[in-house]
Structure 1
Amino acid sequence: MLHYPYVGLINMKNSLSTEATQQTLSILEKRFATNPHRHPNIDWQVIALRLKQFPEKLASLAEMESTGGEPDVFTYDATTDTYYFCDCAVESPAGRRSVCYDRAALEARKEHQPHNSAVEMATAIGVELMSEQQYRLLQSLGEFDLKTSSWILTPSNIRKLGGALFCDRRYDHVFVYHNGAQSYYAARGFRGVLKL
């Protein structure tokens, strides 16, 4: 895992040093090669070339890595020619736990506020929260969140009523739950999705 201090891309240049670029590409290539079942028929060289064309995306992946996400390619949309990375750490990324859902939820909590929110951290990193469909796709590629849980993108009608959704895997089944958006737990983080 890379060890950059988490400052978010809002406060940093949207590119990495030459050394960090090579280190990040090396980590991603090794993970890609080790997990071919996540991305059959996708060539790493195509991914690497595109990452070099979009250094801000590589910087986002470095942030995902530094916060424990272990990002990897997990799907491709041929209609838009878009590759998708997501956090593939077995448990919800350790550097992104104990957060409520979004800024409104954080501000609504008058006591014992968490240090951040999932939506704000995702925005700062340059990713989006996983949708339920994306989360289920990831779970079809392995077993994730056996001890933790992850906030997912919540429909606006649920969020307007004060709720937010999260998922985990228990008893060999993927569950979707609801909670007050202002809640936070040491074992709940979020998984990000990056479009390339």
Structure 2
Amino acid sequence: MSNKYEVGNKTEFTPEEHEGLLKALKARFEKNMHRHEGLTWADIQAKLEAHTEKLWSLHEMEKSGGEPDVVGYEEKTDEYIFYDCSPESPKGRRSICYDREALESRKEHKPHNNAVEMAADMGIELLTEKQYQELQELGNYDLKTSSWVVTPAAIRKLGGAIFCDRRYDTVFVYHNGAESYYAARGFRGSLRV
């Protein structure tokens, strides 16, 4: 029997990493009850243990600095909703452009990756503008950084992409060329379990 958890065609992680992740998630959950009032860790852990493929995605969120935490529960689908709750845009996901098309359009000084494909590779979704606003209601995020969010097709078709941040105690939504990248811009993701 293997001592690693196999998750489809994704990178495996060890039982020690699995246990460490659950401990980190539990500690964060208990420290930030304002994000998930009325929810209990035992129910969430049972759900995670039943869906180990989602644990791999949470592991990737954690590993890249996202500090994932539960921000809600959808009764209709019986799913817990995790968002990246790191104070700033996750460190391991910065200096990237918006998507593959934007990456390919750069002739020189290409970034190492793009937000859309990184999220897909991690098994998560970029936050939408609405989700980003919901996150900001739970605290103050991206005071020094910014995060790409899902861009409407009409804007993307014209070469743009949108990102958000918080400055002057206000959440701002901006635009940029999708091929742009900055050391302080990454992306935040969501995962349903």
TM-score, normalised relative to structure 1: 0.92
Query: What SS does the aligned partner of 2:186 have?
Result: strand
Q: Are 1:181 and 2:178 matched, yes or no?
A: yes
Q: Are 1:142 and 2:120 matched, yes or no?
A: no
Q: Are 1:111 and 2:108 matched, yes or no?
A: yes
AA at the equivalent of 1:151: W
In structure 2, how many angstroms separate the alpha carbons of the residues matched to 1:87 and 1:143? 13
CA contact (8 A) 1:16 1:55 kept: no
TM-score, normalised relative to structure 2: 0.94
- Post-superposition CA distance 1:140-165 (Å, at most 9, x none): 00000000000001111111111100
Residue of structure 2 aligned with 1:37, choices 22, 34, 39:
34
Find the counterpart in structure 1 of residue 70 from structure 2.
73
Query: What SS does the aligned partner of 1:177 have?
Result: strand
In structure 1, how many angstroms separate the alpha carbons of the residues matched to 2:7 and 2:190? 17
AA at the equivalent of 2:70: V
In structure 2, how many angstroms separate the alpha carbons of the residues matched to 1:183 and 1:141? 29
Query: What SS does the aligned partner of 1:33 have?
Result: helix
Residue of structure 1 aligned with 2:188, choices 188, 191, 196:
191
Unmatched runs of 5 consecutive residues or more in structure 1: 1-8
Identity level (%):
60
Deviation at 1:13, TM superposition (A): 3.7
In structure 1, how many angstroms separate the alpha carbons of the residues matched to 2:29 and 2:184? 27
- Post-superposition CA distance 1:72-96 (Å, at most 9, x none): 0012222222211011000000000
Instruction: Give the alignment's Cα RMSD to 1 decimal.
Output: 1.6
Greater mean deviation of Cα atoms: 173-182 or 79-88: 79-88
